[in-house]
Amino acid sequence: MLAEVVRLKIAALGPEGTYSAHAAFMWDRSAELLYRDDFEAVFEAVESGEAGAGVVPVENSLEGAVSQNMDLLLRRKPKIVGEVVVPIRHCLLGRGKRTEVRVVVSHPQALAQCRQYLRRSFPGAEIRSTGSTAHAAKLAQEFPEMAAIAGANVAEKYGLEVLERDIQDNGNNATRFAIISCEPAMMTGRDKTSLAVYLDRDRPGALYAILGEFASRDINLTRIESRPSRRGLGDYYFFIDLEGHRDDPPVRAALDAVRSSATMVKVLGSYPAVSWEKR
């Protein structure tokens, strides 16, 4: 008798049809998805062991970092073990005609990515936020005057028509999703590391000194972004992505040097790098 194949359980924002779900299947086509109502619940499912992994958006090419998930990575246990870049092609979906639309619903990130389109095409419409793009499509089933911004893939599932395609404000719209887990990723030789650094704001040149530890070891930083610490104005965490694995000798030496001068350093994960140019 053949042994039963164990499918990886991945927690993702639901309901079925979200971009998060698409990212999860890009990561593992055979995965069993556990849908959750919000991103914190995704982290909780991974922490509890109910899911072996989770998927959350961390950066969009138009809107920048997804701040909620950067904060969750900072304070929750799961680490980044992989990444998936998903091209985002938003559509206007609805039951009725485009001219009937009076209310447009979607996830706040999707609404932001279509801001100019909405101002131009529906200046008088009511704009409502929902928990996900798929949830917006589900709501749009109920009223012909309501339309959702979501992917074309959910139109048939929720009995909607595609009223307009590619409505995002820029054609180069893509979102980077992090695969999170409590189990570390294996080294591949082509890795990247994400970390969060907190500095004492009263020390002049502190950030310059931190960056110098990487530059002096020829470690390329691919992203650096500040986030408010919520301890007061002008007080920040710095989120840094760099080329290399945390166990590579130059990266390890740089992290040791940074820890000696920073107030806090948290490695958010080392994982195989994905080239945006290939998407």
Catalytic residues: 175, 177
Compute the distance between CA of residue 19 and CA of residue 36 in angstroms, rounded to an integer. Answer: 13
Triad 125, 128, 130: Cα angle to 5°: 150
If DSSP codes are grouped into helix, strand and coil, which group holds residue 12? Answer: strand
Structure tokens at 127: 């704009």
Sign of CA dihedral 182, 180, 239, 15: negative
Phi/psi at 118 (nearest 5 deg)? -65, -40
Query: What does the DSSP 8-state code read for residue 276?
Result: G
Counting beta carbons within 10 angstroms of the beta carbon of residue 103, is it exposed (0 to 12), middle (13 to 18) or buried (19 or more)? middle
Which of 236, 30, 1, 32 is CA-nearest to residue 12?
Answer: 32
Please, are residues 251 and 244 in contact by the beta-carbon 8 Å criterion? yes
